[in-house]
Amino acid sequence: MSEMRNYSQNRPVPVSPRYLKGTSVKIGGTFLAATGAVFGLTSVIFLIITLIGSVITAFDVVSGLIIGIFAVAFISFAVMTYVGVDMVRTVGRFRQYVSVLRDREFCDIKEIASATGRDVRKVLKDVKKMITKGWFCQGHLDEKESCLMVSEHAWNQYTALMEDMKQRKAEEQAAQKKMREEYDRLSPEVQKIVQAGDEYVRRIKAANDAIPGEVISAKISRMELLVDRIFDRVEQNPDSVNDMRRMMDYYLPTTMKLLEAYEELDAQPVQGENIISSKKEIEDTIDTLNIAFEKLLDSLFQDTAWDVSSDISVLHTMLAQEGLTEDGLKK
């Protein structure tokens, strides 16, 4: 029994096929096409003979019935021939699509269309039909119907990714809704300052994108982050809006003038002594402003720091009174 168990455990797990070979479909299509062509041609011959006979002799009900039978037979066999030829051609296209996929688990529909020289819409129609018929044994299309997946592994990865994206989108929407609700609760004065701050952040970022230097770009990026955090803090704690007067009235407008001046100087084709000196002076001033913005951001958390210190002090006092501190336990 143990030997049988070991043998069964060591056997390779069968791999599910991804494609049908299509041989039986091709044989069936060939048979339909050949049968339809032979009997269709025979029906045409008899139909012609009957028509000629009817013209020579008097046309009667029997002749009309025979002509009708042969006409119906011809149409039926013609349809059979068309279906058979279509089956053979479809199998041929299916094998072309498989050859484009090779060993891959997924492929773009446009790539298949380009490799086979067919229209994208026709390829997509083919692929849908082949998935429905089970020719792609594990075939699936993505939501946009732009990618063909031919393995359950690829499909499971895709569905897991889409589920994760939907969850993230739902979380982002919930966060945005919460932010909008918090924003709506702000006073008109605070809302105006926050909007102005967001506009300054946008302009600082635009200036940074326009200035190519790595050193100055790093400094402006730091400034963008600090200004953005400052106005986020104002939105979280509207009582700190009074601390923003000087920044709104002077610091930020002056900052923008300096950045615009730097952008203009940096764009000059010839960098003379005066331009280089002015750019260096602006860079040093940006460093000074960043230090000032860091201190302003830190000061906006002063109330929070006081609250934390007060809570910690009360906590230590209560623990000591209960004899739960290290000194209290010793006593």
**Model pLDDT for residues 231-263, shown as the tens digit of each residue:** 888 888 887 777 788 888 889 999 999 999 999
Least confident of 51-55, 79-83, 130-134, 175-179: 51-55
Residue 193 makes CB contacts below 8 A (sequence gap 6+) with 231, 234, 241, 244, 248
Give me the mean pLDDT over the 203-230 stretch.
92
**Does the structure show a pLDDT above 60 at 6?**
no
Least confident of 49-63, 107-121, 277-291: 49-63
Q: Domain spans of the chain?
A: 23-150, 186-300
Q: Are 49 and 86 in contact (CB under 8 A)?
A: no
Model pLDDT, residue 302: 65
- pLDDT band, very low/low/confident/very high, at 61 (cuts 50, 70, 90): low
Average pLDDT, the chain: 81
**Does the structure show a pLDDT above 50 at 16?**
yes
Q: Are 246 and 289 in contact (CB under 8 A)?
A: no
- pLDDT band, very low/low/confident/very high, at 89 (cuts 50, 70, 90): confident
**Does the structure show a pLDDT above 60 at 305?**
no
Q: How many CB atoms lie within 10 A of CB 68?
A: 12
pLDDT tens per residue, range 139-188: 999 999 999 999 999 999 999 999 999 999 998 888 878 777 777 777 78
**Does the structure show a pLDDT above 50 at 218?**
yes
Measured CA to CA, the distance from residue 48 to residue 56 in angstroms comes to 12
Measured CA to CA, the distance from residue 243 to residue 306 in angstroms comes to 17
**Does the structure show a pLDDT above 50 at 1?**
no
Model pLDDT, residue 190: 82
Give me the mean pLDDT over the 88-116 stretch.
89
Measured CA to CA, the distance from residue 191 to residue 309 in angstroms comes to 31
- pLDDT band, very low/low/confident/very high, at 69 (cuts 50, 70, 90): confident
Model pLDDT, residue 158: 92
Q: Is the pTM of this model over 0.95?
A: no
Strand locations in 38-183 (E): 106-108, 140-141, 147-149
Model pLDDT, residue 326: 65
Tokens of 160: 């897991």
The dihedral sign for the CA sequence 87, 91, 92, 93: positive
Residue 221 makes CB contacts below 8 A (sequence gap 6+) with 208
Q: Are 232 and 197 in contact (CB under 8 A)?
A: no
Measured CA to CA, the distance from residue 75 to residue 216 in angstroms comes to 81
Rg (CA), the chain: 40
Give me the mean pLDDT over the 15-43 stretch.
71
Pick the closest to residue 91 from 54, 145, 135 (CA basis): 135
Q: Are 303 and 237 in contact (CB under 8 A)?
A: yes
Per 3-state DSSP, the chain is made up of helix, strand and coil in percentages (nearest 5) of 80, 5, 15
**Does the structure show a pLDDT above 80 at 99?**
yes
Identify the residue with better confidence: 288 or 57.
288
Q: Are 201 and 224 in contact (CB under 8 A)?
A: yes
Q: How many CB atoms lie within 10 A of CB 243?
A: 16
Q: Are 319 and 325 in contact (CB under 8 A)?
A: yes
**Does the structure show a pLDDT above 70 at 23?**
no
- Residue 202 identity: R
* Segment 44-51 long-range contacts (CB within 8 Å, at least 24 positions apart): 44/70, 44/74, 46/70, 47/71, 47/74
**Does the structure show a pLDDT above 80 at 331?**
no
- Residue 71 identity: A
What one-character-per-residue DSSP string does 204-234 give?
Answer: HHHHHHH---HHHHHHHHHHHHHHHHHHHHH
- pLDDT band, very low/low/confident/very high, at 120 (cuts 50, 70, 90): very high
